[in-house]
Amino acid sequence: MNKPETRIQQRNRAAIMSAGLEVFSQYGLRGSTLDQIAEAAGLSKPNLLYYFRSKDAIYTALLEKLLETWLDPLLKLNPHGDPIQEILGYVHRKLTMSKDFPRESRLFANEILLGAPHIAEHLSKDLRTLVGEKAVVIKEWEAAGKIAPVDPYHLIFSIWSTTQHYADFDVQVRAVLGGIDPFGDAMNYLDTLFRRMLTPPKT
């Protein structure tokens, strides 16, 4: 049943996804037009709709592909590693993603901001499960005295928010800082922030 994709299909689908990311992340779903995406992809509008059923289909495909990438860093949190190094490593990976994939971050943020109508299910299933599992791990680390007492859910929220801030609010950050690139200092700051938060007090 599943016919294999031809090379030309692969190329054009990829071009559309890429163009969609570029355009949607700049103008949002409603703010973007098929013409814009078509132009960015180097295709005609009807040609777009030959590969994707609708504008919404492009957007949804983009979001779903994005979700995997987005959950991956948290998935890599290793229960058997050194607790503080693991969490700081997670912070590091997330901040690096904000630096390297700001469009993805903004697309995601926009979707959540507007009530996440396209991925509500994903959030309350996959994401919730994953975070729940990692919360248990963190609580175990705490019980073992490896990290200071902490609410694992809000710890994760604060990692998400602080790291994604540098992608999502990039304009504001740069307006405040002037021309300086924020990421170097941000990495140092966040490392310190979470290190101080998690280092267990000396008994």
Q: Which residues bind DNA (CB under 7 A)?
A: 3, 6, 8-9, 12, 32-35, 43-47, 49-50, 53-56
**145 touches, from a second copy, DNA, none (C-beta below 5 to 8 Å by class):** none
Indicate which single residue of 44, 82, 157, 181 sits in contact with a second copy (rule: CB under 8 A). 157
**What is 25-67 written as a DSSP string?**
HHHHHHH--HHHHHHHHTS-HHHHHHHSSSHHHHHHHHHHHHH
Residue placing its CB nearer to a second copy in the complex, 69 or 192: 192
Long-range contacts of 188-195 (CB under 8 A, 24+ apart): 190/91, 190/95, 190/162, 190/163, 191/88, 191/91, 191/92, 193/162, 194/87, 194/88, 194/91, 194/159, 195/84, 195/88
Structure tokens at 70: 């987005």
Sites for a second copy among residues 71-130 (CB under 8 A): 106, 109-110, 112-116, 120, 123-124, 127-128
Structure tokens at 196: 């101080």
Residue type, 129: T
Contact call for residues 87 and 77 (beta carbons, < 8 A)? yes
Contact call for residues 16 and 51 (beta carbons, < 8 A)? yes
**171 touches, from DNA, a second copy, none (C-beta below 5 to 8 Å by class):** a second copy
Residue placing its CB nearer to DNA in the complex, 44 or 172: 44
**144 touches, from a second copy, DNA, none (C-beta below 5 to 8 Å by class):** none
Indicate which single residue of 29, 41, 74, 95 sits in contact with a second copy (rule: CB under 8 A). 29
State phi, psi for 116 to the nearest 5 degrees: 50, 45
Residue placing its CB nearer to a second copy in the complex, 5 or 68: 68
Positions that interact with a second copy (CB under 8 A): 26-31, 106, 109-110, 112-116, 120, 123-124, 127-128, 131-132, 148, 150-151, 153-155, 157-158, 160-162, 164-166, 168-169, 171-173, 175-178, 182, 185-186, 188-190, 192-193, 196-197
